[in-house]
């Protein structure tokens, strides 16, 4: 029984440590040369610009002026559970999503190309190896909510 208690405390300590680590904004984030960053090594990211099929997700469709589309995206981000707009500049928007239980933070980025009528998306966990499909589900919820507005 004593060993189980020690193990439980160690696991909780590790999880809370990861939660604190996830509070930091990644150094490599945001658009570079008109593209979003690639997905890192772990299996916890999806991107519409990814080359690997398992990480690729379709971009969102949009029409209209940049300010109008960014305002619409901001409203959708704020309406999604745990979502908060963290950065907005020009045609780029980043939201941070915080999980309810462990307070892990994920970044969801959007880059709107008015000419092509598409919004490139990237959603990535800050820590951990696998997200169990959470980022893909989040982008699909974003797509559904954005299309519904």
Residue with tokens 């189980």: 4
CB atoms within 10 A of CB 114: 15
What pLDDT, on a 0 to 100 scale, did the predictor assign at position 4?
57
What pLDDT, on a 0 to 100 scale, did the predictor assign at position 2?
55
Strands 118-125 and 92-98: unpaired
What pLDDT, on a 0 to 100 scale, did the predictor assign at position 24?
76
What pLDDT, on a 0 to 100 scale, did the predictor assign at position 8?
45
* 3-state DSSP percent of the chain in helix, strand and coil, to 5: 30, 30, 40
Q: Which of 136, 148, 137, 125 is nearest to 44 (CA)?
A: 125
What distance, in Å, lies between the first and last C-alpha atoms of the chain? 54
* Bridge partners of residue 92, in order along the sequence: 89, 111
Q: For residue 82, what are its two tokens? A: 């745990």
What pLDDT, on a 0 to 100 scale, did the predictor assign at position 19?
44
Could you report the per-residue pLDDT of 91-119, keeping only the tens digit for each?
999 999 998 888 899 999 999 999 999 99
What pLDDT, on a 0 to 100 scale, did the predictor assign at position 126?
92
Domain boundaries, the chain: 2-24+37-147
CB atoms within 10 A of CB 137: 13
Segments of the chain with pLDDT less than 50: 5-21
> What is 2-24+37-147's CATH number?
3.30.310.80
Supply the DSSP symbol for 31.
-
Cβ atoms of residues 97 and 82 within 8 Å: yes
């Amino acid at each position: 029984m004593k060993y189980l208690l020690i193990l439980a405390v160690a696991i909780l300590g590790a999880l809370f440590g990861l939660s604190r680590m996830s509070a930091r904004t990644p150094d490599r984030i945001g658009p570079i040369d008109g593209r979003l960053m690639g997905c890192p090594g772990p299996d916890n990211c999806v991107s519409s610009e990814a080359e690997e099929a398992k990480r690729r997700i379709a971009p969102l469709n949009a029409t209209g002026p940049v300010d109008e589309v960014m305002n619409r995206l901001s409203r959708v981000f704020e309406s999604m559970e745990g979502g908060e707009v963290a950065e907005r500049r020009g045609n780029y928007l980043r939201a941070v999503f915080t999980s309810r239980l462990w307070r892990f933070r994920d970044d969801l980025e959007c880059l709107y190309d008015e000419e092509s009528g598409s919004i490139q998306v990237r959603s990535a966990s800050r820590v951990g190896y696998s997200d169990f499909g959470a980022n893909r589900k989040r982008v699909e919820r974003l797509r559904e909510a954005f299309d519904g507005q």
